[in-house]
Amino acid sequence: MSKSLKRVTQALTDAGLSASILEMDGETRTAAQAAEQAGCALDQIAKSIIFQGADSGTIYLFVTAGGNMVDADKAAQLVGEPLGRADGKTVRAVTGFAIGGVSPVGHLSPPHSFFDPRLMAFDTVWAAAGTPRHIFEIAPADLQRISGAKTGDFTQ
């Protein structure tokens, strides 16, 4: 088991959850790939999108429904500074995850996190488990609670 997957598993266990982590037949780097393999609706995929503050360098995590896109202007207004995409090296250094497998939980350094209210429309959602091949199913309220994400309007 990879270190990334172990951290996610430990975060779920520490939160008192017994989520089952599934290994997919191939990569799940996109929400559409993950939804197809999980057999769920596209919006049931909880995407982890990382941005970096242009002024502060702070890393921000936006957990959004699979069919939604993060609106950079709305997200910037929410965090109070202009945003840019974080490069892969920075994402790995701060979160411990490679792009395509960033989990909303189990980060090396937990980022400021925001949660798409669209995810609350479902009984369960699926999120990356630290690798491009692993996902886990969880109630959205539990995911928001253990990720420490604040609800926000940041999608288009």
Label residue 99 by pLDDT band (50, 70, 90): confident
Q: In whole numbers, what is the pLDDT of the chain averaged over residues?
A: 94
Tell me the C-alpha distance between 45 and 102, whole Å.
13
Label residue 145 by pLDDT band (50, 70, 90): very high
Tell me the C-alpha distance between 55 and 132, whole Å.
30
pLDDT value at residue 27: 67
CB 45 within 8 A of CB 31: yes
DSSP string covering 80-102:
TS-EEEPPHHHHHHHHS--TT--
State CA 102 to chain mean position distance. 6
Q: What's the per-residue H, E or C state across 4-72?
A: HHHHHHHHHHHCCCCCCEEECCCCCCCHHHHHHHHCCCHHHEEEEEEEEECCCCCEEEEEEECCCCECH
pLDDT value at residue 3: 93
Q: What is the pLDDT of residues 23-75, one digit of tens each?
A: 988 766 688 888 998 999 999 999 999 999 999 999 999 999 999 999 999 99
